[in-house]
Amino acid sequence: MMVNAVDLTELEKDALTEVVNIGVSRAAASLRKMVGHQVLLSVPAVEIVSREKAATLLGERESNELVAVQQSFSGAFSGRAMLIFPEEHSLALARAVAGDELSNDEIADLEQEALAETGNVILNSCLATMANMLKRPLTMSIPTVCKGSASTLFEARSDKDSRVLFLYINFSIHHRDLRGYIAMTMDMPSLQSLKELLAEFIQQVVGNQE
């Protein structure tokens, strides 16, 4: 197997997982305020893979249609972030966020907005935390919602060599267990920048303790 120079070491992956874990925790706190109920987001498991591999990993787990909330980000590292979940969970998620007292029709009307807002909270928290922890500013676009299969979500747009930071995550919102994925597609220079920033972060943490 080809070893890519930009692939992260185990310690860098741990650091990335932890930075995203902080972001996910902040997202859970924001969602808790938004929905007024207990929200728990699991400690994410991170993998860095090619776009094709990301599509395969997702396709193996989810055979049905998927819903994704996506946002572009740019700064020290740039790319596209997506919060993905199975379509059959999207109404449940919208209901968990918008409230149980609404009728099915009302929920269906609100579905897109509820998903966009949930995605916005989670993706913004993750990206803003990455920016804060790594001490570099990032700007983010407005979220958009799209639907499709695993392969269409990871179709190449500009850079065919881009890599995907793929995160598995479980949501527990108001006693509903939902699963989802966060995927951040980045080109090689961005991944290289991220790798350098993670190495600095590790140095700060490990250096301070020793």
Partner 1 sequence: MAEADSPDALEAPLDDLRERLNISLLAAGVAGSWDWDIRNDRLYFDYRMATLYGLDPAEAERGLPTSAFFKCIYPGDANRLRIAVAGMLNGAELFLKSYRIIAADGLVRWVEAHGRCHFGTDEQPERFSGILVDVTDRRRMQATLLSAERMVAVGTIAASVAHERPALPTRSDPSSRTASSKARSTRSASSAGSRRSRTRTSSTSCSAATRRSAS
Name the site residues for partner 1 (rule: CB under 8 A): 10-11, 14-15, 18-19, 21-22, 24-26, 28-29, 40-43, 129, 133, 202, 205-206, 209
Minimum CB distance to partner 1, residue 15 (Å) = 5
Show the CA angle centred on residue 101, arms to residues 97 and 107, nearest 5°. 55
Number of H helices, E strands in the chain: 6, 8
Between 18 and 111, name the residue whose CB sits nearer to partner 1: 18
Using N-to-C axis directions, what is the helix angle for 188-209 and 10-35, rounded to 10°?
A: 90
Q: Least distance in Å: CB of 205 to partner 1? A: 4
- Using DSSP, state whether 133 is helix, strand or coil: helix
In terms of CB distance, is 21 or 162 closer to partner 1? 21
Among 75, 93, 76, smallest CA distance to 84 is for: 93
| Smallest gap from residue 35 Cβ to partner 1 (A) | 16
- Cβ closer to partner 1: 42 or 112? 42
Closest CB to partner 1 among residues 15, 165: 15
Reference 97, options 28, 150, 31, 157; nearest CA is 31
Q: How far is the CB of 152 from partner 1 (least distance, A)?
A: 29
**What's the min distance (Å) between Cβ of 155 and partner 1?**
29
Strands (DSSP E) contained in 63-174 are 66-75, 79-86, 138-140, 144-148, 163-173
CB-CB contact of 144 with 83 (8 Å): no
Nearer to partner 1, 98 or 130 (CB): 130
